[in-house]
Amino acid sequence: MKRIVLAIVFACFSLALAAQEVYKVNYKGDRPTIADFADALFTQIDADDEELEGEADESFNAIKYAWSQYRKGLPQDDDDTLTVDLKNGFICYESRYEKDLVRIELCYWNESDQKHKLIAYNVSCFTDGKYSAGQFDGLVFYRYDNAKKEITWYESPGFDVEYGTDDGAWVYYDLPRSGKNITVNYCYNNGTKKQSTLKFDGSRFSF
């Protein structure tokens, strides 16, 4: 039952972050960076909106605040870190409290059609170094249109995002800081952990 309830919460999380249909991207230079995508998402998605309340507000407001601090050149709160890797198109926010850790990742891929970029936003929670499914966990995709300079929500390309398996594993994802592939982690209550890889072919992912 708990697994079913959390799956519903995860689905609500994904729908909540898709509440606004279009996010404009403003940037200088020849092409946008991961920072420009973060600016667009973290400033135009309002986690205090009534549609988002109770779904994505807590974790999303945390990274919005951390991003604001970064853009202002101010230090992060104690026990919080924000990694911004412009070269590899990757952002990772981590917030620790006692034994708990919340990790939020953002990255993008250039699509082979040279007209779009695929963006992923991912939340995972851990306790004592082990995955501990939280109510805000989830993997969400967006797509950037180069010509329109707009981001829209995008259904996971080529696979279904899952958070639990029939054989009792919890599932969470690691976005790539380097390379193109997503790591899928399967965690069992007996401590066993397995991994598989979602490989990106320029438009879709497959195992």
- The answer to whether residue 38 sits within a structural domain is yes
Q: Which of 10-14, 97-101, 120-124 has the lowest mean pLDDT?
A: 10-14
Mean pLDDT value across residues 74-98: 97
Q: What is the number of domains present in the chain?
A: 1
Q: Residue 2 has what pLDDT?
A: 43
The SS3 call for residue 13 is helix
Asked if 165 and 171 count as a contact pair (C-beta separation under 8 A), the reply is: yes
The answer on pLDDT for 78 being more than 70 is: yes
Percent of the chain clearing pLDDT 70 (strictly above): 85
Cα separation, 8 vs 151, whole angstroms: 25
The pTM is what? 0.88
CB atoms under 10 Å from CB of 169, counted, come to 19
Q: Take residue 73 and report the two structure tokens written for it.
A: 């050149």
Mean pLDDT value across residues 71-78: 97
Q: Own/partner pairs for 97-101, CB < 8 Å, 24+ apart? A: 99/127, 99/128, 100/125, 100/126, 100/127, 100/132, 101/125, 101/126, 101/127
Q: Take residue 173 and report the two structure tokens written for it.
A: 């994802």
Q: Residue 6 has what pLDDT?
A: 45
Mean pLDDT value across residues 69-89: 97
- The answer to whether residue 170 sits within a structural domain is no
Mean pLDDT value across residues 63-76: 97
- The answer to whether residue 134 sits within a structural domain is yes
Cα separation, 165 vs 172, whole angstroms: 11
CA-CA distances (angstroms) from residue 39 to 49, 187, 192?
A: 18, 33, 38
CA-CA distances (angstroms) from residue 22 to 35, 41, 150?
A: 18, 10, 6
Q: Residue 46 has what pLDDT?
A: 66
The bridge status of strand 116-127 relative to strand 130-131 is antiparallel
- The answer to whether residue 175 sits within a structural domain is no
In this predicted model, what pLDDT tens digit does every residue of 119-165 receive, in sequence order?
Answer: 999 999 999 999 998 888 999 999 999 999 999 999 999 999 999 99
Q: Classify burial at 5, counting beta carbons within 10 Å of its beta carbon; exposed 0-12, middle 13-18, buried 19 or more.
A: exposed
- The answer to whether residue 182 sits within a structural domain is no
Q: Residue 57 has what pLDDT?
A: 63
In this predicted model, what pLDDT tens digit does every residue of 100-125 receive, in sequence order?
Answer: 999 999 999 999 999 999 999 999 99
The answer on pLDDT for 1 being more than 50 is: no
Question: What range does the domain containing 65 cover?
Answer: 2-156
Mean pLDDT value across residues 177-197: 96
Q: Residue 101 has what pLDDT?
A: 97
What rounded mean pLDDT belongs to the chain?
Answer: 88
- The answer to whether residue 174 sits within a structural domain is no
- The answer to whether residue 69 sits within a structural domain is yes
Place of tokens 């082979």: 112
- The answer to whether residue 173 sits within a structural domain is no
